[in-house]
Structure 1
Amino acid sequence: MNFCLRTILTICFCLLILTKGFSISDRINSLITFEVYTAKHKSTIVYDKEGTPLDSISAHLLAEDIFKVTNYKPEIITNLKQAKGNVIIIGNINSKLINAFIKSSEIPSDFKNQWESYLYKTIAKPSKSIKKAFIIAGTTPRGTAYGVFNISKEIGVNPWYWWADVPVKSRKELILDQSDSISKAPSVKFRGIFLNDEDWGLQPWASKTLEPETGDIGPKTYAKIFELLLRLNANTIWPAMHPSTKAFFHYPGNAKMAEMYNIVIGSSHAEPMLRNNVDEWDKKTLGDFNYKTNKNAVFNYWENRVKEAKNIDAIYTMGMRGVHDSGMEGVKSKDEAVALLDGILKDQRQLLKTYINEDPTKIPQAFTVYKEVLDLYKNGLEVPDDITLVWTDDNYGYIRSLSNPEEQKRSGGGGVYYHASYWGRPHDYLWLSTTSPCLVWEEMIKAYTLNNKTIWILNVGDIKPAEYNTQLFLDMAYNASKFETIEAVNKHQEDFFTDIFGEKYGKTIANIKAKYYQLAFERKPEFMGWSQTEPTTPIYQTAYNSLGYGDEISKRISAYKTIENKTQKIAQNLPKNLKSSFFQLVAYPVEAASNMNKKFLYRDLALTYAKQNRISAKKHKDSSNLAYQNIITLTEKYNALSNGKWQGIMHMKPRNLPVYQNPEITLSENSSKDILGIAVEDTLRNIQGISKLPTFYENDFKSYFIDVFLKSENETSWKLTNLPKWLNFSKTNGILNPKNTPETRIYVSIDWKLWNQSRKPLSEIITLESGDFKEDIEIQISENYSNLPKNSIIEKNGLAVWYAHSFSKNEEKNKAFWQILNGLGHSQHPLQASPVASESFSEFKNTPVLEYDIYAETINPEAHLNIVALPTHPLTTSGQVRIGVQWNDSPIKIIDFKTEGRSSTWKQNVLSNTAKKQMQIAIDKTGKQTLKIYMIDAGVVLDYFILNTKSQLEPYSLPAETKIYSHEN
């Protein structure tokens, strides 16, 4: 740009500012750069001494951030008269300090009233002594802080620099090229985290490592947490509240720290009026926590806290439950509970009116509709209009209900309390953070779309290792417009890891973590024991089939090994300063999850193979035990990271549940006198009792396996004989050795060109020989689908499998449609009934419809169709989760995926992330069948379908679609 043009643009910009003030658009281009630190410039920071303590904290943290980047620490002053050269100005938009540079009349009035917003503006020569001023001005103290910390991000200080040891990007000079701009108001008003179930990580680490002088989670720990929240553009905390931790108000410094950092204090669903009942309610001195029989004691208990907290920025949890995550005491029916709660709400609001504000509608209040409270709300409980209804997920990531159109009009609005960590039935997941980011997106954007925008709280457990999901959740809460489509999640994840580990590794790491989340979506590491809690059960064998469907166990082990190996390769090549952060954010969760899976899957192999008298069973038992030892080693390494900074933060056995132990593996005795044995995939046999592989389908690229294994401690050779040229084998002979190679797997496939040249034989018998041992194996081929087009869905070996997005027709009607959500679900491309704000359909002729064509080879009047959706809940308290299903020309049948409470169906749904409905359907002829799915209720998420024509055991994992392929495949 030449000098004249630059001058003209600068004059035009100045005229714009003088005549119209700032534009309300997100950014206003400025042509003035600001030198923070160069050979010629060393900037100073000025903050408003008449402002809040947060202005001072922000200024000092910014100076520290600049020092981390440049090794130069700016001087911090509060007297503007002392300022000279380049100066960073930090303060409130209405303060005298800021008004010395920007007149109030120059700022749009609607921006001045904007919640937690900030502006950036660079001014050249605002005074004789100041060469350049870079203004960071907020509409509120937190708005100012966000402005400061977003600059810190820009200069290379990641929000997780302390909490995940993310190294700062050093620079020889630091020049801001920040356009004059005005931020949007946050999408969600109150955004924050809940520290919960801290007994095994956060609390012992804080008490012994970070804050031994307190011996607990105290002011020093909260200062670090509050700084993190501000760097993540968040503003709210629900403090830790388990028995291992003293109540937040037990240490006066905690509340003082919250005041300094301007963090809003709330409390969980079980803690009305900022009280921590677990620590603060002493039954011996106060009696029962029962408002019906002990009202005065409970009322006084609440009153004392309200008096104490009257000057604290807080959200008051209203209503009442038991002392700790249990139903309200003393009531015998829903009607009685509703009546009692009605009086409780009135009394609580009177306390707020007496001690906080005569107009309680100006006090943030929340009524969390959690567990049994949802039933009371449905039963007629009336919650004052200005109280925010905080809806909750079912503890496993699926929101139980959201605001209906009338509730969306409430002045208090709606909100969501969401879990990334959980203690309870059917099983805890407190150890590794594995909730699918795409599921977080689907549920929270659904909540946002239905106007639940007042409060978003994420249960993060111990904070670590939930760093990424915390970032995603809070970024969505701060600026939901960046997450309009699900594709934004992949980009967000890639940006997150690229910012930390650089362009060389960022995308690869994001892909590793995406696979990590996907594998856990199929089954979380904590659920791999197939056990439950409350009550606690022993572990069982998994539902993965090692002998069928391509060996589900080996496939899952291989998938984990792949990301584990990629992770280890990156770790070896990373610069030293990135290794600690990489281990925390990537290596530990990936490798620990892999070993947790191997612990149980190798156990399964050992137990299954022992029944076949395979001597390799012992090897798999050892592999299971080794996986357990690997988890111990990984955890010890985590706690030793960064010179012991994280000692005690990671615990591999929260609550010491059976799933975390080294499993006992008792192998059955080998009763066989044979040297060698074989097993074919699916362990099938024909009518004559001869082993046979699953049927091959013409032009299908699929292969099946034959296992050859030792039953005794003797070395032996083996070979395949009677082999036609059109059969492909991964090996045709070999030697089994009890020490090194006790078993081998042979993969069998067909060369279709040679098969055609051989006049298309439909069966063949091959033989496996080893000395006197001979075993025949039958090969069968089907031509049933020889004339069908490529990619047709067909029945193979009794099953037809297809994914929701493999429709032949997707018909939109009345502005409603089935939307593909890439990256979500087991199929990675499920269909959501959209838009979520649309009303339910009552007439099938007006509803969007999906159509699928399936080709069957088995006639069966009692076949089964399994329709698999995600276990989402109704969108509203009175809603349902319905679709209409029509098989061929049969009548449309309505099915509802809705579950009640903590039913056994719901438990299995959340453990597997599936909601399955089975229909009996009739196949009265072979060939083309038609399935139609009619939309009824918005929000239903269809994932995949399985047609089972022979009542066989289905795989646990999602198999590939049963399609017909061409020769080229």
Structure 2
Amino acid sequence: MFDQPITAFQPGPGYLSLKGLPILTDPNDYEGVHIAVETLASDLEKVAGVKPEIWTTTAGRSRVPGLIVVGSLPRCRFLSEVKAVNQTSRPSNSSIEGTWESFETSICTSPWPVADRVFVIAGSDKRGTIFGAYTLSEQIGVSPWYWWSDVAVESREQVYALPVTVRQGEPSVQYRGIFINDEAPALRDWARDNFGPQFNKAFYAKVFELLLRLKANFLWPAMWSGYPEPGSSFFTDDPENQALADRYGIVVSTSHHEPMQRSMTEWHVANKDTGAKWRWDAENKSTLVKHFSGGAARAKPYESVITLGMRGDTDKALDMDDPVDTMRDIITTQRQILGDVYEAPENVPQVMALYKEVQSYYEQGLDIPNDVTLLFADDNFGNIRRLPTSAEQQRRGGCGIYYHLEYVGHPRSYKWMNTNSCGKIHQQLSQAYDHGVKKLWVINVGDIKPLELPLTFALSLAWDINSTTSDTIPAFYDNYAAHTFGSDHATDIGRLLLNHDRLLALRRLEHIDTDTFSVLSYNEADVIVQRLIDQENESSALFDSMPEAHKAAYFQLVHYPLRATRLFIDLQVSLAKNQLYGEQRRNTTNVMATRVLDLFDLDYDLTQQFHHSPWTGDKWNHIMKQPRYGFDTKTVGGNYHTPTRDMIRGLSFVQRRQDSTPIAGQMGIAVEGHAGIMPGLANEECCRMQPSRGGRAVGLHLPSLSSYGRSSCYFDIYCRGTRPVVWSIESRSHIEWLSVTPSTDTLDPDDAQDQRVCLTIVDWSYVPVGFCAVVDIGIRSTDGDYEEVHLPVDNRRVPAGFSGFVESDGCVSIYVGDVPLTKSQQAFYQHLPYLGRLPSGAVGLASLPSPDPVLIPYLTYSVFTFTALAPATVTLYFTMALNAHVDGTPFAYDIAMDGVVKQGVPLAGRCHASDLPEGWDNATQDLVWTRKHAFDMAVAGPHTIYYRPLARGVILEKIVVDFGGVRDSYLGPPSYSPVEGRPVVRL
């Protein structure tokens, strides 16, 4: 996607037309090269309409306008012949000779009389050649995912090779690939429909080709154990799978708990009747040794990476008295087996997955041979647990990372569709790379197809870590859109995908419940849903304008994710409103219940449209069938298991044929930001309801309006009975600067919507300077119902010359990404504009070794407060990350204000085994850490907050100073622009 151009579709000086040119390849070259050449020929036919002949000799051939020569330096004799006649006029390919997976392309003089010129794709080895061939395929317009996503290939009258020599050096990461995991029910059932009852060679041929087109070379194959019994086994489901992988050029390994090229399914099948247990003890050790030996011997003819170690059955910790000593014996025995099979254990690449408790064994002193790759892991939710030390980076076996884009496990699974933000993937993987994690990246992709976009992004970084930076992520989306759909709509599609990414960064879909986004505070839920609706509408318009040939891919890759996300979140928010309205006894409770059910049906309709497409028929039946509604929220501590069937719970209904009690009346009032005091409940002896008095008046206090914050708010008028409500606002002619719209209307009990009344400051210049009071607004119905709402208005002003953030509505909220870095700060910090939950991004230390903390300048934030409070609460919101440093780097920060300095405040403690830091369960779903500090702000006026991180990975998104006005919400109070400009809310 980001490779240097080697093709064009218009002629130019020195260009060579590739249309119809034969492809010359050495019959002695690797079989994988021949497979790639066959595919390249088909791709050229798709684009140019003529399928090239494939030649293995030039002898006896008729003259042609040119040739495409594809070969590897070790095996293709034609490359030597080309070099012999071009060595004085063309750069040699000696720079790639002996390198790993490199290739070179160039137009050269032909050494054969059948053609004058040749376009050469020369690879340093088998996969280097394959990647060169597939680079040509991609650049002529064949997406790596063309089969998997039904991407249309645009016909071209001509395709030209450019007269430039392009060298692609060694990839950034040596082994790069995927783990097909948690493949039931979606991928499993889809594959059974299309390829048979097992994951056979026909299925894996599609996977292998996809990986190579994405310039990947590594696979942990599908291994789900269980229904249908006995589960998946790459090695036995189809005996040809392993040999086919090797022919294609895919390096096969086995997952973190399947050692020695054996699947757990194989063990269960082989020992179903023997009574042998997956346990390294005197009773079972000999059986396990035989099992491991068989796996190693079977793998010997093929290119493999052997997984060492052992976890307990069903991917749990070893159940042994001394697991560290047990693991030592396991590794020693496995290495002896490899020595017997491969003559010496170091003759075959090996990996030790430091997953969960295995990491703690290593840190407790478990010795792992130097030639074995240390495979570190994330927390299963995209947060890397451990980075290698400088000494570990020098290991002969190098270091790798096991990284999840989906997961089944605690605290809650996520596996339906993509819920990964590329900003987070980039930050985590690039930081790992900077710490020497360059040997192996394995990405857990579940069902493959739903995770096309983040997998493409991750593998593009593995191929070239510099292909995307933290601030060029939009370019990735634009390029992805252009390569998939052509240039006509690329900018619009890229923007849509980027905006969707920013919404995914709020929270993973399966982690969203009815109480996640506030339907009361800061318009939070409504703003999010409206953003989703706007995106969906834009996508629908684009969809309608797309050529018919692109609609299948557009639906799968763009429209389905956007619409499915909107339906899911809209349903959760609507259910929350239904429950709130029920407590308030609104007539529209039932309307909202119907809306929830309608959304529930629309969600299923959309899935069925994916499964039974008007463009591709039943090709993708089952692939999006993962249930996602109905997670268990009642079990103490949570229940991570995905639902077996979609279900919604907690719908509320009111009795529409019944009036409220007379003391409550038929007119209801609900103000923004408050559910109401004793909503729906009344005691005629003590609750005089008209208007609400005493403690109940709190439930009718609106958010404060401020010249430095919001200028409008609302309250709802609703029916709670069987009769129409004719209402009006009492006269307020003395407050000309306050607009109340509408001021009178009639509500019918069958109306589908309640009446929203907006209160807006018309012009702050009309409000008396220094005005700070509560405006009471009365609402009366013709039935005699009466209520008052209370609107705080604050027009206090800061002194001339102040620059910074000003208190409004009882707090100060700062999006730190909105504050420009000074020139001196830029030497230490970087703005990460596409990381985190906020539209402004986040700020962290630059991507270089952390300097001495004493040298790091503070970031400063000026605030002005009207409230004096001792203490006030300062809350910091940090992008979710783990303390991955073990070299003594403090995963901490300093914060100071008004002379009080708090140094070395830990953000999160080190994590060992499964004992992740306190609060991880919530933070990994919230996608932020929050840390609260108390500061004495007993004097109103200007204050300065000083902050600095002490390590990379300590990344700040937001600061909130609370003077008692902060209301419960997911994202916290929105930020307003500093006083230099008019206040513009950003949620």
TM-score (norm 2): 0.88
More off after superposition, 954-963 vs 131-140 = 954-963
Give SS of 2:82's match: coil
Match of 1:234 in 2: 216
CA distance in 2, matches of 1:623, 1:752: 38
State the one-letter code of the partner of 1:959.
P
The Cα shift of 1:668 comes to 5.9
For residues 212 and 838 of structure 2, the distance between their equivalents in structure 1, rounded to whole angstroms, comes to 37
Distance 1:640 1:962 in 2: 47
- Counterpart code for 2:333: D
**Does the residue aligned with 1:468 lie in a helix, a strand or coil?**
helix
What residue is the counterpart of 2:280 in the other structure?
291
Specify whether residues 733 and 933 from structure 1 end up closer, same or farther in structure 2 by C-alpha distance, changes over 3 A only.
Answer: same
Aligned-pair identity in percent equals: 25
Contact 1:635 1:652 in 2 (8 A): no
Determine the structure 1 residue equivalent to 2:749: 738
Give the equivalent residue in structure 2 for 1:651: 625
Instruction: Determine which of 253, 257, 262 is the counterpart of 2:249.
Output: 262
The offset of 1:97, in angstroms, is 2.3
- Tell me the CA shift for residue 730 of structure 1: 4.2
In the alignment, what sits opposite 1:325? 315
Q: CA deviation at 1:628?
A: 1.3
Structure 2: 5+ residue stretches without partners? 629-640, 677-691
Contact 1:270/1:325 (<8 A) preserved = yes
Say how many residue pairs are matched. 917
In structure 1, what is the equivalent of residue 679 of structure 2?
none
Question: Relative to structure 1, is the Cα distance of residues 791 and 267 closer, same or farther in structure 2, using a 3 angstrom cutoff?
Answer: farther
1:750-899 aligned within 5 A: 750-752=761-763, 755-756=766-767, 762-771=773-782, 772-787=784-799, 792-806=804-818, 817-835=828-846, 837-839=848-850, 841=852, 844=854, 846-877=855-886, 879=888, 880-899=890-909
SS in structure 2 of the partner of residue 469 of structure 1: helix
Q: Does 1:565 align with 2:537?
A: yes
Contact residue 800 and residue 948 of structure 1 kept, 8 A: yes
Partner of 1:672: 660
Letter in 2 for 1:490: P
Distance 1:688 1:382, change over 3 A: closer
Q: CA deviation at 1:393?
A: 0.9
- Residues 506 and 718 (structure 1 numbering): CA distance in 2 closer, same or farther, change over 3 Å? farther
Displacement of 1:957 in angstroms is: 2.1
Q: What is the CA-CA distance between 1:866 and the residue it aligns to? A: 1.2
**3-state DSSP of counterpart to 1:198:** coil
Task: Give the CA deviation at 1:951.
Answer: 7.5
Which range is displaced more, 180-189 or 443-452? 180-189
Secondary structure class of the residue paired with 2:597: helix
Q: Sort the Cα spacing of 1:196 and 1:346 in 2 relative to 1 into closer, same or farther, 3 A.
A: same
Q: State the shift of 1:753 in Å.
A: 5.0
Unaligned regions of 5+ residues in structure 1, if any? 1-24, 530-540
* Pair 1:788–1:627, CA change in 2 (3 A): farther
Of residues 253-262 and 679-688 in structure 1, the stretch that sits farther from structure 2 once superposed is: 679-688
Corresponding position: 1:99 with 2:80: yes
| 1-structure distance, mates of 2:801, 2:623 | 57
CA distance 1:759–1:435, change in 2 (3 Å): closer
1:229 Cα deviation from its structure 2 partner: 0.7
Find out whether 1:275 has 2:262 as its counterpart. yes
- Opposite residue 303 of structure 1, the aligned amino acid is S
CA distance in 1, matches of 2:786, 2:976: 33
| Residue 603 (1) aligns with residue 575 (2) | yes
Q: Quick check: 1:836–1:939 contact (8 Å CA) kept in 2?
A: no
- The one of 933, 941, 944 equivalent to 2:947 is 933
8 Å CA contact 1:883–1:894 kept in 2: the answer is yes
| Alpha-carbon shift at residue 318 of structure 1 (Å) | 1.2
Q: Cα distance 1:831–1:561, how it changes in 2: closer, same or farther (>3 A)?
A: closer
- Cα deviation, 1:454-499, whole Å, max 9, x if unaligned, reads 101111111111111011011110011222x212221111110122
Equivalent residue number for residue 136 of structure 2: 151
Deviations 1:307-335 (A, max 9, x none): 11101111111111123321123x23xxx
1:709-757 Cα deviation digits (max 9, x unpaired): 1112333333323233211344323332233344021221112256248
1:542 matched to which residue of 2?
A: 515
Cross-structure match for 1:618: 590
Matches within 5 A, 1:376-415: 376-415=361-400
Cα shift at 1:928? 1.6
1:436 maps to a residue whose letter is S
- Scaled by the length of structure 1, the TM-score of the pair is 0.90
- Structure 2 Cα separation of the partners of residues 889 and 699 of structure 1: 26
User: Is the alpha carbon distance of 1:808 and 1:823 closer, same or farther for their aligned partners in structure 2, counting shifts above 3 Å?
Assistant: closer
Aligned to 2:407: 422
Amino acid at match of 1:745: R
Superposition deviation, residue 836 in structure 1: 5.0
Change (3 A) 1:789 1:546: farther
Displacement, 1:790? 7.5
Do 2:705 and 2:792's aligned partners in 1 also have CA atoms closer than 8 Å?
A: yes
CA distance in 1, matches of 2:106, 2:291: 49
- Give the root-mean-square deviation of aligned CA atoms: 2.7
Secondary structure of residue in 2 paired with 1:112: coil
- Structure 2 equivalent of residue 351 of structure 1: 337
Distance, in Å, in 2 between the alignment partners of 1:767 and 1:118 is: 77
Aligned match for 2:24, one of 46, 53, 69 = 46
Change (3 A) 1:658 1:73: closer
How much has 1:896 moved relative to structure 2? 1.3
Task: After TM superposition, give the deviation of residue 435 of structure 1 in Å.
Answer: 0.7
Residues 272 and 318 in structure 1, CA contact (< 8 A), matched pair in contact too = yes
> What does 1:661-700 correspond to in 2, within 5 Å?
661-667=647-653, 672-673=660-661, 674-683=665-674, 690=697, 691-698=700-707, 700=709
Shifted more, 911-920 versus 274-283: the winner is: 274-283
Change over 3 Å in CA distance of 1:659–1:395 after alignment to 2: farther
Q: Deviations over 1:629-681 (max 9, x none)?
A: 11111111111131211122221416652894233414466772322111112
Q: What corresponds to 2:353 in structure 1? A: 368
Question: How far 1:952 moved relative to its partner?
Answer: 5.0
Q: C-alpha separation between the residues in 2 aligned to 1:946 and 1:433?
A: 31
Query: Amino acid of the residue matched to residue 132 of structure 2?
Result: G
CA contact (8 A) 1:700 1:965 kept: no
**Contact 1:848–1:935 (CA under 8 A) maintained in structure 2:** no
> Does the C-alpha gap of structure 1 residues 693 and 431 become closer, same or farther in structure 2, counting only changes over 3 Å?
same
| Deviation larger for 231-240 or 73-82 | 73-82
Helix, strand or coil at the partner of 1:225: helix
In 1, the alpha carbon distance for the partners of 2:924 and 2:738 equals: 43
Where does residue 22 of structure 1 map in the other structure? none
- Distance apart, 1:299 and its partner CA: 1.1
Q: Contact between 1:722 and 1:765, CA under 8 Å: does it hold in 2?
A: no
1:396 to partner: Cα distance: 0.7
Which of 721, 726, 729 is the matching residue for 1:717?
Answer: 726
Note closer, same or farther for the CA distance 1:504–1:120 as it changes in structure 2 (3 Å cut). closer
Residue 498 (str. 1) matches residue 482 (str. 2): yes
Letter of the 1:594 partner, please give it. Answer: R
Q: Are 2:421 and 2:502, in contact at CA under 8 Å, matched by a contact in 1? A: yes
Query: 1:582 Cα deviation (Å)?
Result: 0.8
Distance 2:848 2:397 in 1: 20
Aligned counterparts of 2:288 and 2:708: Cα–Cα separation in 1: 74
SS in 1 for 2:260: helix
Q: Secondary structure at the match of 1:274?
A: coil
Q: For residue 681 of structure 2, what is the aligned residue in structure 1?
A: none
